[in-house]
Amino acid sequence: MRFALLIIAFLLAALPAAAQTVVADLSQSRVSITASFAGSHILVFGAVKHTEESRPKSYPVLDPIDVIVTVSGPLEPVTVRKKDRRAGIWINAEALQIDAAPTLYKIASSQPLEEILSDSEDLRHSISIPLAVRSAGAAGEVEDADSFVEALIRIREDTGDYEVIPNSVRVIDQTLFRSDINLPANLVEGDYTTRIFLTRDGQVVADFTRVLHVRKVGIERWVYNLAQDQALLYGLLSLAIAIAAGWGASAAFRYARGS
């Protein structure tokens, strides 16, 4: 009996595995930030291509496919400070430099993340929010580095910059999928990486990546370029505008009093 089971296991292992590939796209590949920009949204959609070469009909039915979509903003270093009360005054006591934290990070999934993604696969692909925040070497700077990372995540979750949205990816007939993801008004200019993961039984079986370009346009672009490329001129113009605004307000006030 034991020998027969070994033979069956060997034959099943020798069968061509059912493979999947994913093809996806975004409803828009570019978001323009203007003076009146109030946020946007993207539609992530795609299809799963199943490849089952020479698989016998008696081959066991596989678990259904689930889909995870992540949108990550540009990475930037962040300093997290911890306040402490000393002599009745709140001051910055400790600080931790986090190597790279995404300015925006959203996770949409067809089911709750913990039900469709194993810890090992999460570690491998850095899908969950804590793994998306890179704090390598931070443990040596302060005693409790994890609390600083957790504080950053908590703050950005409260502002909506970090968000996990379960059951927000619709999968149709194990082939088509779609998800709507809202983008806030405070987007930082840069490239936003959109990743799509297909999972089965907690394992990632396929993935796909697209880039969303976020750029300032119009007067926003002109002011940004001026501040970056000609800081002195930008400062002088800002000072001149402030003086003119102050003089104008004073003149209007005197006119109102005189009338």
Amino acid 1: pLDDT: 42
Which residue in 215, 169, 171 sits closest to 195, CA to CA? Answer: 169
3-class DSSP string for 211-248: EEEEEECCHHHHHHHHHHHCHHHHHHHHHHHHHHHHHH
The b/e string for 222-240 (b: 16+ C-beta within 10 A; e otherwise) is eeeeeeeeeeeebeeeeee
Host H or E run for residue 148: helix 145-158
Partners of 66 in beta bridges: 199
How far is it, in rounded angstroms, from Cα 67 to Cα 193? 16
pTM above 0.85, yes or no: no
Is there a contact between 193 and 211 (Cβ–Cβ < 8 Å)? Answer: yes
- CA-based diameter of the chain, in Å? 108
CA distances, 86 to each of 83, 91, 93, 95, 182 (Å): 9, 7, 9, 16, 42
Whole-number pLDDT of residue 60? 52
d(C-alpha 172, C-alpha 29), whole Å: 24
Among candidates 52, 57, 98, 101, which has minimal Cα distance to 75?
Answer: 101
- 169-225 confidence digits (pLDDT tens): 999 988 999 999 999 999 999 999 999 999 999 999 999 999 999 988 766 666 666
Q: Which two tokens stand for residue 24?
A: 């996806």
User: Among candidates 214, 206, 195, 204, which has minimal Cα distance to 72?
Assistant: 195
The ranges of the chain with pLDDT < 70 are: 1-19, 51-62, 135-142, 218-229, 234, 258-259
Token readout for 253 is: 């006030």
Helix axes 231-258, 219-229, angle to 10 degrees: 120
Question: What integer pLDDT is reported at residue 64 of this predicted model?
Answer: 86
In whole angstroms, what is the distance from residue 103 CA to residue 72 CA? Answer: 8
In this prediction, residue 225 carries a pLDDT of 66
pLDDT at 190: 93
Which residues fall within 8 angstroms of residue 44, CB to CB, at 6 or more apart? 24, 25, 26, 27, 69, 108, 178, 179, 180, 181, 194, 196
For tokens 């039984």, name the residue. Answer: 201
Strand partners, 164: 107
Task: Say what the pLDDT of residue 234 is.
Answer: 66
